[in-house]
Amino acid sequence: MEIGEIQKKEKEKFLKEKEKKIEKEITKIQTRHNNETQAMELKINTHKNKILREQRVILDELELKYKNKERELERKQKAEREHYERIISSHYGRKNLSKSMPKNY
């Protein structure tokens, strides 16, 4: 009987130790998994921020090009308007105005 009880106690002790080892390994795996997940999230956020910065630079460049083009068109329109105003006020008079002005002006 004593041998049976000793064997039973040893088996229980072995199973408890085995269970503790398994729980310890599960905890290690969970910790590693959490660390890997955090590292991946950090990489994703870093990459996302990089892409957003690059897109902002592209948008700023496009906006600058648009503003420059707008200013250039305004200058051309002003120069053209001044040109036709000079023609109107010059010695040609009103008779030749229709010949010197474009049809859509």
Structure tokens of 12? 């229980």
The answer to the question of residue 66 being in a domain is yes
pLDDT tens digits for 6-51? 999 999 999 999 999 999 999 999 999 999 999 999 999 999 999 9
The answer to the question of residue 87 being in a domain is no
In which domain, by residue range, is 15 found?
Answer: 2-71
Q: Which residues lie closer than 8 Å to 44 by C-beta, 6 or more apart?
A: none
The answer to the question of residue 19 being in a domain is yes
Q: State pTM to two decimals.
A: 0.54
Burial of residue 74, with CB atoms counted within 10 A of its CB: 0-12 exposed, 13-18 middle, 19 or more buried: exposed
Total number of domains constituting the chain: 1
The answer to the question of residue 82 being in a domain is no
pLDDT tens digits for 69-100? 999 999 999 999 999 888 888 865 555 545 55
The answer to the question of residue 32 being in a domain is yes
